[in-house]
Structure 1
Amino acid sequence: MQKYILAALAAAGSAYAACSASATLTISNAADASALASCKTFTGNIAIATDTVDPINIPSVRTIRGDLIANNVSTMNQLGADSVEIITGTFGLNDVQTLSVLSFPKLTAVESIIWQGLPNLNGLNFDASVQQASRVDIQNTFLASLKGINLKMVDELYLANNGMLQEVDLQLGNVSHALTLDNNGDRLQASFPNLIWAYNLTFRTAPSVSLPSLKYVNGSMGFYETAVSEIFAANLTRVGGSFSLEDNPELFNLSFPLLQTIDGGFRLAENPKVADLTGFPALKNIGGAFNVSGEFESVALPSLGDVRGAFYIASTEDIKSECDKYKSVNGPNKIIKGKFTCESKPTASSGGGSGGSSTGSGSGTTSSGSAALLDVSSTAMMGWTGFLAAMLGLL
C-alpha cells in the first residue's frame, strides 16, 4: 500500500513541477506544449525556442503567471492557447517572420502586449477580446484591424508603422499615460467614442481621428503630418500641457467650442487650408506661448483673458486689423503679458521680422508642443490591478 501512495505522491509532484518553472520553460515543439495539458495555472515564464517549426498550441492552461515570449522565431506560423484567459506578465512577439495565425480565443487580460516585426500576421483570433492591459505596443505588423483587442482603460497605447492597419475602434474610457498613433495605414479610421480623458495624445500621419467624448487632456495633445480634414472635440475643456497642430496639409476645419484652458503653449503651423482661426470661441487662458502662422484671414479669440507667454501671429493674408486688436491688449498687466509679434503679409526677405509687422515688449516663453502625462483618480485606476487580483482569486 505504501508503495502505491509513494507512487501517487511522486506523480503529483511531477505534475506540479510541470506546472511551474523557477527560470523559463522553453517550448521547442508541439509535444513540449502538450506536456502542459494537466495544468490549469502555469507559474513562470514560457519562451518559444528560436528554431521551433511546429504549430504551437498550449492546451488547458487558464492562467500564465509570468511572460509568454517568442523572439526571433523564423519558421513558426501558428501560435495559440485554447484556454488561456490571463497572462500576468508580458505577451511578447518580436521578429516572428512567418507567424500568420495567433489564436487565443479566451484571453481577456494581460499585463503588457508588445508585438514587433510580424509581417504576415493579418488578424487576431481573440474571440473573447482582450479588455484589460496596462500597455499595448504594436509595431511593424501586417494587422488590418485590432479586432480582438477592446480595452476599457490602458496606461500606454502605441501603434506605429503598421502599414495595413485601417481600423482602430476602441472603447477606451481613459489613458493614464499616452496614446500614440504614428504612421499606420493610409486610410486609417481611428475612433475612440468613449475616451473622456488622457494624459498625452499624439496623432501622426493619421487620416481620420474621432474623439467625441474627450473632456480632459492632462498632458499634451498634438496632430502632426496627418491627412485629417477636420478636427472636432466638442466636449474638450482643458489641455494641461501644450496643444500643437503642425503640418496637416488637408486640415481646413477646427472646432473646439468648449476649450477654455491650455496650460502649456498653443502652436499652429503649416496647415495651409486653415483660412480662419475661429474654432476656439471659449479659449480664455494660455499658460505658455501662443504661436500661430498660416494663410488665415482672421484670428477670432473672443474669450481670451490671459496669455502668459509670447504671442506670435503671422499670416500671408492681410490681418493688420487683427494685429492692431491684439497689440492693444499687450503689456505686463494686460491680457497678453509676453513679447508680442504680429506679421501681416510678411515678405520672404523679412525673415519673419518686417513686412507689416507689429511688435511689443514683455517677457515670455515659447512652446512647440510635445507630449506629457496625467493624474488619475483611485477609483478610475483600480482597473488592471484590481481586475487581475479578483480573477486570480477565482482560479
Structure 2
Amino acid sequence: MFRHLRRTVAPVALGAVVALGLTACGGTTRDSVESEQPGAGGGEPAATADPNAPIKEGLKIAFLPKQLNNPYSDVETGGGEAAVAELKGEYKLVGPNDASASSQVSYINTLIQQQQDVIGIAANDANAVCPSLQQAREAGIKVVSFDSDAAKECRDVFINQATTEGIGQKLVEMATALTGGQGEIAILSATPNATNQNAWIEVVNAELQKPENAGLELVATVYGNDDDQKSFQEAQGLLATHPNLKVIVAPTTVGIAAAARYISGSEYKGRVAVTGLGLPNQMREYVKDGTVAQFALWNPADIGYLAGYAGAALASGQITGAEGETFTAGKLGEYTIGADGEVVLGPPTVFDASNIDQFDF
C-alpha cells in the first residue's frame, strides 16, 4: 500500500491538492542540482548535490520520536530501523516518555556528543528544539524532521505524511459525511504545541469558513497530550460540556483510540461519532462494533522508512535539501524535494468496515 515507483512532490500550498486520492506524478532528472539557496534550513552556505554519489555504509542514524512507547511512534521508528538496516548503517532510538515541548532537547544534545551522522526527529515543539538542532547541523549532523516538523531553519528536509491541506480537508470531509453536514463537532488533539496537529487544525478552521461547510460548528478544541488517560478524560469532558455534540475529530492516534473507547462503552454510542487519524490495528474493534464508521491514516512505517533514506542521502551528499533534488528511497521508489525542503509521502487511506481487515499495522 501507498507504494509508487516514482513520485514528484509539489510545493505545499492551498489548492495544490485536488483530492487525497491523487498522487502527484511527473518526470524528474537525476542531473546534479546545485542549490541556489541554503539547504531547507536556511543559514547554511549553498551546497552542490551529487546525485550519483554512493550511499555511505556505516552511517550513524538516530531517531528521536515525540515519545517512546507510543503505538504510532513505534510503527514509525520501526520503518526507520528497517531502512537503516537496508542501508547498512547503525540505528539508534532515543526519546522521552512524555511529549512535552522541551523533553527532546537533552536527547539532541547527547546525540551531538555521540557524533551521529543523522538525526531524525518528530518535533514536539517546532521552536523548542531549534537551538539544539542548529548546534547539531553546525557539528555536521544532517537533520531530518518527520511527521511533525521542526522550524524550517533548523532542519535539512521534512518528511510529511501528506499535504497539510489535504489532511485538514479530509478531516472536514469525514466530519461532513458523519453529520450530514449539520451539527456540532469538536477536536481532540495531541499537545498544544504539536506542529502537525496545529497545522491540520488551522486548515480545518479555514475549511469550516467555506459556505458549503456552514452547517458544521466547531464548538471546542481540547488537548489530550498524546496520553491515553488524559485523552479519555477530555472525551468525557467534551460530552459533559456539549451534550449536542455529533462528532469528535481526533487527528492523533492516541486521541482517536481513547475517544472511541469512551464512546463505545457510554450512552453516547450510536449518537456521537468518532473520526480522525488512527492505526487500523487500534481501531479495528471500534469499527466492527459500530462506534467508528470511518477514519484515515497513511502507513506510519513508510514515514520512518522514507526519513531513513532521506537522511542517508543527505549524509552521503546525494541531496542538500534544495527544491527539485531527487533521491531513491528503497522500496518506495524515487522522491523529489519540494519547497522548503518538504517531501510528501503520499495520500492517506480512509478505513472503514469494508477494508480495515486488509491492513495490519
TM-score class normalised by the smaller sequence: under 0.3
Question: For the pair shown, which has the larger CA radius of gyration, 1 or 2?
Answer: 1
Q: Which has the higher contact order (CA 8 A, sep 6+)?
A: 2
- Given the two structures, how large is their TM-score scaled by the length of structure 2? 0.24
Please state which structure has a larger fraction of its residues in strand.
1
